[in-house]
Amino acid sequence: MKNIIDFGEAQVLGEMDPDIAVCVIVNTYNHSKFIAQCLDSILDQKTDFKIKIVVHDDFSKDGTREILNLYFKSHPEKFILILENSNQWNLGISNLASLIPWIGSKYIALCEGDDFWTDNSKLQRQRDILEIQNDVSLVYHSIEIQSDVADSNYGATLEYLNSPHDQRKIGVANFISTCSVMFRNGVVDSNVFMGIRNLVPVDWILFAALADSGRVFFMPQRMATYRIHSTSLWSSKVQKWRIEKTEDAHWYLAGLLRGEIGSEARKVLSGRSSRKRHWRFPANLIRKMRNILINLYDPLGKGG
């Protein structure tokens, strides 16, 4: 089991045991209203294997950190806390992409601090599928959608998350909810995470890379709740911002993945460019894709 290291000035509490089968990554920021429900739903899981809950707090200032410390004191053997001393999101750094390369458990599950699980057999059932079906790289399931904002239209559009899809189409759009995922660790090269640390949404890129490397397995059971609220990092943003970030993600997928999923992303970009009379390749994305390729094929920066 690898150690959680290299988090700069962050305070790290807890230790990684060598026999952990599943690590659950929880990213949180100003989730004081929600984090207890999230953590309780993870602690409530019934498994015949050991789990570790790795919570990354991105410099919360609303009392979230105090709640995390209480949970750590009550269950020190269950938790690792990574407590940032500055907000990494504001620096353009993906906490998820930073965490995954340092986790050595065989499988990883995800749950954002404002979401929660609703079936205490979720981890056991997903891990059993991955154990039995070696060609499966990622397992996900249906979810409940809970909207705490006045505009319920966005939540209604997310019902596509509760249907099976041709996994190649993840190159077009993300149809996997983060709180529903368990995946096989080590499938995606760690250099990929270095290349996407400054990208939003990094979870989509991760799921696409996993789908490019194995089979995606859908479970129809609704075993988690995805919460939409006024401070959600993604759903609270205006549509124009989400569209821009989605286009950035398409460029990354098109450049990173040379198989069918990358081909789907390239089709999206081709169609978009043909609709623009004076379209040209964005210079900022050229720089981003260049950095990705450097990290992938020349990770030590030696060149030549």
pLDDT in tens, 143-201: 999 987 655 555 555 676 788 899 999 999 999 999 999 999 999 988 788 777 667 68
Instruction: For the chain, list the domains and their CATH numbers.
Output: 11-235 (3.90.550.10)
Q: How far, in Å, are 30, 185, 232 from residue 188 at the CA level?
A: 30, 8, 27
pLDDT in tens, 196-227: 766 768 899 999 999 999 999 999 999 999 99
Q: How far, in Å, are 115, 150, 151 from residue 228 at the CA level?
A: 9, 10, 10
Q: Bigger pLDDT: 2 or 222? A: 222
What is the pLDDT, as a whole number, of residue 150?
Answer: 55
What is the pLDDT, as a whole number, of residue 233?
Answer: 61
What is the pLDDT, as a whole number, of residue 206?
Answer: 94
Residue with tokens 């069918």: 260
- Residue 276 scores a pLDDT above 70: no
pLDDT, averaged across the chain? 84
Confidence of residue 243 (pLDDT cuts 50, 70, 90): confident
pTM: predicted TM-score of the whole model, two decimal places: 0.86
83 neighbors 159 (Cβ within 8 angstroms): no
- Please give the share of the chain, as a percent, with pLDDT higher than 70: 79
- Residue 298 scores a pLDDT above 50: no
41 neighbors 59 (Cβ within 8 angstroms): no
Range 230-255 average pLDDT? 76
pLDDT in tens, 55-97: 999 999 999 999 999 999 999 999 999 999 998 877 777 788 8
What is the pLDDT, as a whole number, of residue 155?
Answer: 53
